Amino acid sequence: MDVLQSLFRWIHVVAGVMWIGHLYFFNFVNSQVAPTYDADSKKKVVPELMPRALYWFRWGAAYTWVTGVLLLLLVYYHGAIVFEYGQTWNAIGIIMIALVFVAPLIYDALYKTALKDPTAGFVAGVVLSVVYVFAAADLAGFTFRSAAIHLGGMFGTIMAFNVWFRIWPAQQQIIRATKEGTAPDKDLVGIAGLRSRHNTYMSVPLIFTMVAQHATWAADFPTVSLGLVVLVGWGAVYWLYGKSAQVKGF
C-alpha cells in the first residue's frame, strides 16, 4: 500500500502540474496574446499550437483525477481517516462523498441558469462551498483534513468534467473553424472561455486542500477557514487576471 500510495502521489502531482500549468498558460498568457493575431496568423498558429497544448492539458486532467480518486480510496477510505475519532458512517457522510462525483452534473445545470452572471456565480460558489464544508465537518463528522480533501476532490472533479465535456469538444470545433478561415461559433467560444475561467478560479483553493494537513491553524474552525480559503483564492485569481492584462510583449 505504501508503494502504491507513493506511486499515485507522484503521478498525481506531475500530472497536476502539467494540467494546471497549461490552464494558467491559456488564461494568463494565451488569452492576452491570441487577440493580437491577424487572420493569417490565426490560421497558421492556432491549428498548430492549440491541439498540442490541449493534448497535455486534457490528459494531465485525466491522470490527475484518476490518481486522485485512487488516493482517496487508499488513504482515506482504506486507511479509515475520514472521520473524527468516535464518528462513523452516516447518511450525510455518504452524501458528502457522493457529491464529489455527482457535483459536475449539479454545477453544469446551475451555471446554465442565472448563475451565468459572474457576480452571482461567484457568490453562489462561495456559499455552496461553505455549506459543503459545514455539512462534511459539522454534520458528517469529517476531520478537517478529510473535509478539505473532499472539497478539493469536488472542485477537481468539476474541473476535469469541464475539460473533457465542455472545453475540449468546443475547442475542437473552434480550431477547425479557425483553420478553415471561418468565424467560430460565438456560443462555443463563450462556453469554452467561461468554463476555463471557472477552472482557474477553482484551481487555487484546490491546491490549498492538497496541502491542508499542514494548515494546523485552520483545523479548529474548518467551515470558516476553508470558506476563507475559497474566498481569498478566488480573489487572488481575479487579481491575476487583471495583472495578466498589464503584462505586455516587446
Per-residue pLDDT tens for 178-219? 999 999 999 999 999 999 999 999 999 999 999 998 898 999
Question: How many domains does one find in the chain?
Answer: 1
37 vs 163: CA distance, rounded Å: 25
pLDDT value at residue 87? 87
| Phi-psi group of 181: left, alpha or beta (phi > 0 → left; psi -120 to 50 → alpha; rest → beta) | left
Residue 227 lies in domain: 2-246
Angle at 124 between CA 30 and CA 146, to 5 degrees: 90
81 vs 249: CA distance, rounded Å: 49
Exposure of 222 in the CB half-sphere (CA atoms within 13 A) = 27
144 vs 225: CA distance, rounded Å: 10
pLDDT tens figures, 100-125: 999 999 999 999 998 989 999 999 99
pLDDT tens figures, 73-109: 999 999 999 999 888 899 999 999 999 999 999 999 9
Percent of the chain with pLDDT over 70: 100
